[in-house]
Amino acid sequence: MAVLLKVKNSQSFVEYLNNLLSNISIGDKTETWLVERFNNGAFYTHYTPKGVWNNKAWFRVCPDEAKKPFNEARGTSYNLIFRLHGTKNDVMTKDLYCFYHSRFVEFLLNNMIDDIKELAITTSKNDIEELDKFKNYDWR
């Protein structure tokens, strides 16, 4: 469960995304994305005032040690992979998966389309297992 991107510059893409989300005033929005920053990276979650989908899942940029074998196994070169993670209390349902991926892709395309060369979404069990080789990575 991941959004796969080929972008011009992955570091500047993530920095721009983080700055964009940091400057969003949730009081002005009916629906938006929030970023939470920790020492080991940023997490992205969906927000609505009614809170139906709030904090049910989080995207996180995959570290290089997961991205490299994933790309090598497929003969491709996605330089940015956002992996979706559920919470300990919420089951990752098909509805949750579809909601988060569709809204995140919509946000990226609406705000950063000029920096995206290619975008894909994976649902393959094998792809997820490959990305999950770093599941013990310190997420918080």
CA-closest candidate to residue 84, choices 33, 10, 13: 33
Q: What domain count does the chain have? A: 1
Strand 2-7 and strand 41-47: pairing? Answer: unpaired
**Confidence class of residue 79 from pLDDT cuts 50, 70 and 90?**
very high
- R_g (Cα) of the chain, nearest Å: 14
Q: For position 139, what pLDDT does the model report?
A: 45
What's the mean pLDDT in 51-66?
84
Specify if 139 maps to a domain: no
Specify if 69 maps to a domain: yes
The residue type at 104: F
Residue-wise pLDDT tens digits, 2-42: 899 999 999 999 999 998 888 776 556 667 888 888 777 78
Q: For position 63, what pLDDT does the model report?
A: 80
Sheet holding 116-122, edge to edge: 32-38, 41-47, 57-61, 80-86, 2-7, 116-122
Q: What is the reported pTM? A: 0.84
CA-closest candidate to residue 42, choices 78, 8, 67, 11: 11
Whether residue 77 is predicted with pLDDT greater than 80 in this model: the reply is: yes
What's the mean pLDDT in 115-140?
70
Most confident segment among 1-5, 10-14, 65-69, 130-134? 10-14
User: DSSP alpha helices (H): ranges in 36-87?
Assistant: 64-74
Structure tokens at 45: 């979650």
Specify if 116 maps to a domain: yes
Domain with 58, as residue range(s), is 2-134
Specify if 140 maps to a domain: no
Strand 41-47 and strand 57-61: pairing? Answer: antiparallel
Cα distances (Å, whole numbers) of residue 98 to 58, 94, 102: 13, 6, 6
Residue-wise pLDDT tens digits, 84-123: 888 878 777 888 888 999 999 999 999 999 999 999 998 7
